[in-house]
Structure 1
């Protein structure tokens, strides 16, 4: 078991949307400076994560009623993209934290909301222990929360637990005795809970998305949230999660394009047949870059549009009109995710193509953009985004309700 995360008992408070963007930009400038070194040596960003959460940015979705800034989804998306452009591992680590704060907002009891929102406002971090391996599909859960004569006990094994290593609370997805899905917010120091640093992905190398083991962990009722209620009646929880993933990919694309701009202007040589003196004057290079820039602007526009749909749905009730708004938001996010996914991968690849052979040298670490994009974008299958959008447009079909759409 790794050392427990650092924790300051105080955190700054973000005032509003503008303040959130300002703080994100300042932090990102610092985070970018060490991103290559962290990736190259897989140096886990414990210090950076502590600064990130202590800045108040991890609490920006807490409702105003409970003392939070309750920023717009557009602001949350842009904060995530800004940090991800600097270091997409740091952009991904709080993704699950925001989703687990959202779960408390949607289905937590009043007592749970007061307690866990206060924890977030004071700088405490929520990790993630949802996925499992060795199951028929990614949505199958074998982890169990059982009633015993001594109280509730949690047992199971989780994989891809992004954020758990840096967390103070590790929410674990499990089935209760009634076969209902629950989220168990486990104290990181709880006896029987082990967080293993065994993530070995070739990209997003410092997210520490390792294994979580729960061995007869004692649980109090306050820690148990009804996960089975997250999507019935329809809520924006799945679209919310996907918007953040899309923002991470947008940040990776921006980082790759920033390096592309520098290399074509300052380092790359023109092709001999082009008849120009500089790579930045090569007409075929300009055509390739123009295509990427247009796709970037389209992706940014769809990302902002999707965020507006989520804002419109956030406070919806259970009416039929509300269900339609949730569907519209889910489809809008799927459309944005298609563009940010393909753009992040293509921009990272075209960077190497146009920058030339010297750009492949390990000393430049330009391969990290592709590795990060390719690793992060397999989180959920893009092919099913196209299917959901097309099926809705043509047949008015409703998308499936889970955290992957």
Structure 2
């Protein structure tokens, strides 16, 4: 059994700071909050009518959010991961569908930032400056794991093509490029970037979930789709914190949903004029029982926000050490310890954020009346979206890993989606 030394603290170094200061937070919010406010304006109507937020996604791209992590010299904001996911949570508070659409794009950008000197990265940085957007194509509904992925990547006469069927292809209908994983003729895993607007790619609107309904998370079909000459990468070379990056993006969206549910619930409580016969005040907003309920829920919002903040700082610390040449495979080094801490804190944050999100989006109704269930209020959308996102990579498995780590010192899993014989989550 591989073991690690556990920290005396359940969360390790709670105040692990990134090596660099990142972008100026006021500059970031000045740039993006006006766009986020515009996105929030039509969220309720889009949810009610299942209208895809194409304009809203493009507005964020045009404002530069798709490049927020890229260095300033290359056309970005040089935001830290902590800042990036804090902004993503704000987007999610406005519209969680829009926020979730950015998950695969931001993950691919992060991969290119971890390979700064390559010709391929230079090409992609220019494409990002041009406004190109990347969607996902990894998971297959018909195969058990990435180790058994059925998608084929073949190169003949210098042309690489992709053939296969994907599901949970989040963001695909918004994307210019799709990041697809498959196996070459030797059985090696590669990721290939293909243009969405070619004949060999079909991306229907067929996501059947009751939440996150306009994220384009359904199927994608590839039949001899041509891969870009600068878009073929060995899967083993992906950045080592990719799995926890993907999970963090979901947590940021859940934090935004939790805030939105609390915000909308409090607004509806303030507007209520009639209390129940057993209430302790004529006006619901003056009822100490309802005040206590809202106060309790506010602590869960705070827990979720704090967990995301701590966890993303640990991720920043790891990313900076890796950028400085650190090696996670060198046992006992600062980088290896940072990787362990980031993995543990991501699992811990997932448990906290999911619990908070599901509780707030459900229990906010306890402070309201039956009218809160009216369809036109749209308050149910918060629970539906939170429940859908929380079903990604269920927290029960992460909590077991945490228990094994703290009791037995077993190395926490969550570093790579490629080695397991079962499952495709991270």
TM-score normalized by the length of structure 1: 0.90
1:332 equivalent to 2:345? Answer: yes
Matching residue of 1:283: 288
Contact 1:180 1:228 in 2 (8 A): no
Stretch deviating more after TM superposition (164-173 or 261-270): 261-270
1:303 equivalent to 2:316? Answer: no
1:230 equivalent to 2:251? Answer: no
Per-residue CA distance 1:116-165 (angstroms, 9 max, x = gap): 12211221101111111022257742111023346322100111111111
Matching residue of 2:244: 239
Per-residue CA distance 1:333-380 (angstroms, 9 max, x = gap): 221221221111111111223211111111211111111111111111
Stretch deviating more after TM superposition (190-199 or 42-51): 190-199
Matching residue of 1:157: 165
Q: How many residues align?
A: 389
For the residues of structure 1 that align with 2:273 and 2:260, how far apart are their CA atoms? Answer: 18
Structure 1 stretches of at least 4 aligned residues deviating more than 6 Å after TM superposition: none
Contact 1:160 1:209 in 2 (8 A): yes
Q: Report 1:135-150 matches (<5 A).
A: 135-137=143-145, 140-149=148-157
Q: Report 1:1-400 matches (<5 A).
A: 16-64=24-72, 66-106=74-114, 110-137=118-145, 140-149=148-157, 151-230=159-238, 235-267=240-272, 269-315=274-320, 316=322, 317-318=326-327, 319=330, 320-400=333-413
How far did 1:49 drift?
1.2
**Counterpart of 2:209 in 1: which secondary structure?**
coil
Stretch deviating more after TM superposition (162-171 or 23-32): 23-32
Per-residue CA distance 1:10-69 (angstroms, 9 max, x = gap): xxxx97543222333211211111111111111111111111100001101123463432
Gap runs ≥5 in structure 2: 1-21, 418-424
**Counterpart of 2:388 in 1: which secondary structure?**
helix
For the residues of structure 2 that align with 1:272 and 1:138, how far apart are their CA atoms? Answer: 57
Q: 1:270 to 1:80 in 2, by over 3 A?
A: same
Matching residue of 1:4: none
**Counterpart of 1:142 in 2: which secondary structure?**
coil
Per-residue CA distance 1:276-298 (angstroms, 9 max, x = gap): 11222333323322222112212
Greater RCO, CA 8 A, separation 6+: 2
Stretch deviating more after TM superposition (79-88 or 27-36): 27-36
Per-residue CA distance 1:172-225 (angstroms, 9 max, x = gap): 111122322211111223331222121232111111222211111223442101
Matching residue of 1:402: 416
Matching residue of 2:9: none
For the residues of structure 2 that align with 1:301 and 1:281, how far apart are their CA atoms? Answer: 29
Gap runs ≥5 in structure 1: 1-13
For the residues of structure 1 that align with 2:268 and 2:405, how far apart are their CA atoms? Answer: 42
Contact 2:194 2:228 in 1 (8 A): no
